[in-house]
Structure 1
């Protein structure tokens, strides 16, 4: 296994582990890759039990060259005109800690990131405003909401990571076909929402023993980036999928070789999910405890003093409309293409579903989300 393959495997296993932890009762989206990159940056400065816990939870144990692998992967994913993938990771560190020159150098080399030295101790509100403005600037205003309670006088180190994708479908959903339709919630309540629709040749599969259907919706001309919508047969089937999820299953479900190109009428609700949440409790539950502990944390490669992580803030947004995740220039939208045949299949996402956005070339999962309600 190459370094790149090892990092991708770590990311995809981490995706599944996170999926089992997130709520199945609300809309959620996360970028495991963004989170993993941020935590790899922290791991760069960890030693002893803190480092071993982090490597186990992050699935880094079989990676011999983690940091060069991430540099290679992020370069591969962002070096394209097909879409815009923006991932930002920064450590905000209390100014009373002396940051190692070695850490400053290696974090710049591998992650093009320097820690931000801030005054949590004396000016938490000013520091909070500074981080909010940093978010606005780095993400062109997409993220500008950080809970004020996320920092206080006792905050030592906050890890902030953001991710968003700007991309258009290979085959757009014609505006004229978007209609009001019923969406059944997991409690069997029915609500009206905007349902987009399009007919075309799409990769589709049915996993009968799992009672799910899956469709592949590609982005751009090259179709290297693809969204997979995993739709349970039952309106309340999300919980069961998440509980029984494994890396092998998710890998097989999102493998184009296991799908069949079929002329399908696709119905998908308009949705935009903005997630901004603390990952501290989830990561602790997964086994990464020492890095958050004042008495046990060993981040001596970052600072010789007793530094620990106060929180990990993850901010992600994914949108699906007629054009794609966001409006961005893209040539091919096939609006004039007419099929003079009846659909062989209908894929109607009119109840809760899971979605995955995956890069076909690296096989890396970029986003994982659950859509529960309009």
Structure 2
């Protein structure tokens, strides 16, 4: 395996690990890659049991050159003329701590990132305001807030990572088709949603033994970016899928070569999910405990003083509308003649489902989400 492939496999395994632990009744969207990139920077500085735990949770144990792999992967994902993917990561550290010049230089070289020094101890409110301004200035206004209790005067080091995507469907959903429709939540409660629909040729697959079906919704002309909607047969089937999901399954389910192209009618909720998560407890449950401990953490390559991670804050926004985003549609010309046909079947996401956005060329999972209610 190349170093790039090793990092992709680590990211995809990490995605499944997060999926298994993110148990919530709310809508969820995560960018595991943005978290993995930020945590790789900390792992670069970790020693002893802290390093061992981090490498295990992040699936870096078999990676020969983690940082070179990220250096190769990220530009291939970010530098696209068909979509806009933005990932930002910064470590904010208590200003009274002395940082290693070697670490600062390495973080610039490998991740184009420089740690920010803030006075959490004496002025946590001002530190919080600084981070808010950083968010506004570095995310084109996509993120302008964060819970004030995300930092306090005991904050030692906080990792802020953000991710958002602007991309248009290969085949847009006609605005005139959007209608009010019922949606059944996992508790069998019926609510209403805006349901988008379109007829076209789409890759689809049914996994009978898992009682679910998957559809592939590509973006752009070249279709290198694709959303996979994983829909259980039953309205309350989402919990079982999340708890039992494996890397092998998710890799297999999102393999376009194992799907069948059919002319179908697709129904998908019109949604936007804005998520801000404190990931400390999730990562802790996954086995990364030492790095969050003021007495056990060993990230001495950052500073020879006592240093530990106070939290990892993940901010992600994801939208699905008729065009895919607010931009102009980029429809595939091949769909023009299909209006003369009748759909063979329908695929309607009218109850909770999982969605994955994957880059076809690298096979990297970019976003993981769960839509549970309008």
State TM-score, norm by structure 2.
Answer: 0.98
Cα deviation, residue 8, structure 1:
0.2
Moved over 6 A (4+): none
Q: Is the 8 A contact 1:24 1:239 kept in 2?
A: no
| Mapping of residues 228-307 of structure 1, within 5 Å | 228-307=228-307
1:236-266 deviations in Å (ceiling 9; x for gaps):
0001101211111000100001100000100
| Mapping of residues 78-93 of structure 1, within 5 Å | 78-93=78-93
* Shift in alpha-carbon separation, 1:322–1:337, aligned structure 2, 3 A: farther
Q: Is the 8 A contact 2:202 2:261 kept in 1?
A: yes
CA distance in 1 between partners of 2:296 and 2:185 (Å): 44
Residue 97 of structure 1 corresponds to 97
Residue 126 of structure 1 corresponds to 126
Q: Which runs of 5+ in 1 are unaligned?
A: none
Q: Is the 8 A contact 2:168 2:330 kept in 1?
A: no
1:149-202 deviations in Å (ceiling 9; x for gaps):
111111110000000000000000000000111111111111111100000000
The secondary structure found in structure 2 opposite 1:215 is strand
Residue 21 of structure 1 corresponds to 21
Residue 327 of structure 1 corresponds to 326
CA distance in 2 between partners of 1:310 and 1:24 (Å): 23
Cα deviation, residue 338, structure 1:
4.2
Residue 47 of structure 2 corresponds to 47
1:296-348 deviations in Å (ceiling 9; x for gaps):
11111000100100100001111000000x22355436585542111111000
The secondary structure found in structure 1 opposite 2:267 is strand
State TM-score, norm by structure 1.
Answer: 0.98
CA distance in 2 between partners of 1:292 and 1:144 (Å): 26
1:25-78 deviations in Å (ceiling 9; x for gaps):
210000110110010011111111111110000000000100010111101101
CA distance in 1 between partners of 2:89 and 2:317 (Å): 15
Matched positions, count: 373
Q: Is the 8 A contact 1:94 1:121 kept in 2?
A: yes
Q: Which runs of 5+ in 2 are unaligned?
A: none
CA distance in 2 between partners of 1:116 and 1:71 (Å): 21
The secondary structure found in structure 2 opposite 1:354 is strand
CA distance in 1 between partners of 2:328 and 2:305 (Å): 49
